[in-house]
Structure 1
């Protein structure tokens, strides 16, 4: 591969997507109750961790990410790229003794906060822009390094130095490889390949091979932002019909690309280690970063505000970001908290079942045009309805990883359902499920769309 020809980066591409990218970067950085002593904060950074190759050999951790996606670039288009990750730095706490020497300690009381050892995350960015034409053939490669670093910050109480925080970062090395191949087909489309590798050395001095030791030499929460100056990317979750075969042939490892620009635009892509849908957004009601996207902001805010003063002191001493969360919860006005209770995104007029205003729209029994037990639809030229047998093929647009375990399993259709948006869903019970009879009795089924099943010929 050749070295990339750098051109001015088009930062405006990523402004809309960066808020979501920040959530990916700091997902799980520090979890409620935001204290280093909390058990859940002893094993952090579960997503997008790329470890040194020599340490990762034979382990379940990854050393690289591979992104493949489809794009339709205009002639003379430029690809802008931003690789973002956290560089873990180890913070130790030292107390100043009466003899003027610093001694490493497990905690240091400093008034409104209690400092404890902690691994902080420093945001790193690798940025480049390259003409799409230069990605043909061998493409381009960009080695990068983030050097080792050490500094100390004095801890003062009432103007008097009582200790210091010593921060150490290890050297991190990586390689970014980009290439593009134009594909045959009815339209001019190219497959873009972006590979991020950790190439850091691992010391051979017999140091303990624990995950915590590897993190300072790792790329943590690694993800990519990609933007085109002209042209567009194709959705990998829901590509146009003519591109489905090409999209299915793309190989994405340890990451997943989604459209991330404003609604209606497709010139920005986010390749994330967390499964997202196209055009993901942060709820506008969210008051700030709470570093736990699996929780509800309202619950987190209320729980955080209810911490004891001693717990808040330790949280503030854990990390500046944790301190900001505590301050946010303590100072949140009631009207902001009320906004977190719920929001209606859109309203539309519903005239009732079968267009009759006197029939509740949510009552399927009141709509004579649907009959879940007897309705049938056509799938691959076969009539499918209650009692039909199908093979499950969960689609890529699904975000529930549990569905992957059902790939290829056979099932029985229990009902054909129509929702208020006009979508058709097949309620099924999986063959071999010991709770199938209970599901039928309670009406609790698994649901798949018609393009996610294959009819099974009856013997």
Structure 2
């Protein structure tokens, strides 16, 4: 690797990129026979152009971002992706020949046909000055290949694995253009294309196309001297230029340590600037839709037969099984939760306030509801649209745009009864309500379970 490359920044970015590269690679319960492992690789797939014309997946991805290089700076580019290779399982016959089988059972594992992912890299270092004008075009090709591995058990050959990769062709195009105005900034354009000439036969499915695709494709971009501009939180001068950038099937974020801006990760999964892998994470589990603690416990609870099947599915799946079986209690305890930051919370004065409410009981911790007796959800009120609202008030619900639960939209325009006014330690106010005509309202009320809305999400109704 060229010494001009930002080594530390690239290394930190690769940790995040690995999570992207192998996201969904093999899902719990880590067996090839599991239904969820028959529809794999949903992110960053660049299919052959002829297949993309009849399907819904693209054959290219485009990254555009702003950079402020210093004089003589070099841009380092690293394209990373997985190349799918088909693994066929064969059993050895008495006449020394082989026959293809659906599985080959061994003492410690059960081998099954599977599409493995081989990590590929295309690297390039180019002076930033050489990116203007026509820019740089880097074609690359990965030839088809087949390798065989003899499988032994108890010192005797019992079968073999045949691994085959199909030919893969692509191109990386890089250009840069100066931004108008007084700022010495450039708009960088990086396009990755699958240029395979493969023509899908009649009835070809996605599985055939995947073997000729760039899977989980993403880019690492680094400057030897200079900085990139955040695409999610740009400075004011850069905001108009950032808004004009076109990013297709990928999104660039600042990578590396917080405060550094010489490395960008352009990922098919939308991330925030400076993403990090949680320090409590014990290792790759390839299933980011699950909570590490739950996933580790469930994996450790698999039967021995299920673990044999997982180990025979893929080496990475086998590593997950071994990891779950070897986690000590103190590591599992760390997975239960972590406090990232603490701030001081000051309890109110012990003296009664202006309304005559007494302060907290001496020695009561701040998180105890009794720590602040100046608030009472049953009697507290809040002013909404110039009217006092509290327990017993009726309101019209109008959930706001910021809500992420789609079911809240069904409550728009419904009327509800306010059960309590709740205040967070940070001063936020929430209204606990039960929806009118809800047949389960009495049960919810008895259990202390309500729906919660902020004051600007309701309209007071006339009191009966």
1:152 maps to 2:143:
no
The Cα of 1:184 is off from its aligned counterpart by 2.0
The Cα of 1:366 is off from its aligned counterpart by 5.1
Look up the match of 2:245. Answer: 250
Look up the match of 1:452. Answer: none
Change (3 A) 1:69 1:103: same
The Cα of 1:137 is off from its aligned counterpart by 1.8
Look up the match of 1:213. Answer: 208
Look up the match of 1:277. Answer: 272
Change (3 A) 1:7 1:33: same
* Contact 2:48/2:213 (8 A) holds in 1: yes
**In 1, Cα distance between the equivalents of 2:141 and 2:425?**
54
CA deviations over 1:308-327 (Å, ceiling 9, x no partner): 11100000000000000111
Change (3 A) 1:344 1:55: same
CA deviations over 1:340-374 (Å, ceiling 9, x no partner): 11111111212246999959689899589x98644
Q: How does 1:277-356 map to 2 (within 5 A)?
A: 277-352=272-347
CA deviations over 1:128-154 (Å, ceiling 9, x no partner): 111111111221111111111100111
TM-score by length of 1: 0.80
Look up the match of 1:444. Answer: 452
Q: Please tell me the root mean square deviation across aligned C-alpha atoms, in Å.
A: 3.8
1:194 maps to 2:190:
yes
The Cα of 1:188 is off from its aligned counterpart by 2.3
The Cα of 1:241 is off from its aligned counterpart by 2.1
**In 2, Cα distance between the equivalents of 1:304 and 1:247?**
44
1:62 maps to 2:58:
yes
* Aligned with 1:175 (options 157, 171, 175): 171
Unpaired segments ≥5 residues, structure 2: 352-358, 387-394, 413-417, 432-436, 442-448, 457-464
Look up the match of 1:455. Answer: none
**In 1, Cα distance between the equivalents of 2:68 and 2:381?**
44
Change (3 A) 1:391 1:324: closer
* Aligned with 2:220 (options 222, 225, 233): 225
Look up the match of 1:125. Answer: 121
Unpaired segments ≥5 residues, structure 1: 1-5, 377-385, 428-433, 449-459
TM-score by length of 2: 0.79
* Contact 2:90/2:101 (8 A) holds in 1: yes
Secondary structure at the counterpart of residue 444 of structure 1: strand
The Cα of 1:444 is off from its aligned counterpart by 3.3
The Cα of 1:338 is off from its aligned counterpart by 1.1
* Contact 2:45/2:213 (8 A) holds in 1: yes
The Cα of 1:242 is off from its aligned counterpart by 2.2
Which has the higher Rg, Structure 1 or Structure 2? 2
The Cα of 1:189 is off from its aligned counterpart by 2.0
* Contact 1:353/1:361 (8 A) holds in 2: no
CA deviations over 1:290-347 (Å, ceiling 9, x no partner): 0011111111110011101110000000000000011111111111111111111111
CA deviations over 1:83-109 (Å, ceiling 9, x no partner): 000000000000001111100000001
The count of residues paired between Structure 1 and Structure 2 equals 413
* Contact 2:63/2:246 (8 A) holds in 1: yes
* Aligned with 1:44 (options 40, 50, 59): 40
**In 1, Cα distance between the equivalents of 2:273 and 2:91?**
50
Look up the match of 1:19. Answer: 15
* Contact 1:52/1:200 (8 A) holds in 2: yes
1:74 maps to 2:70:
yes
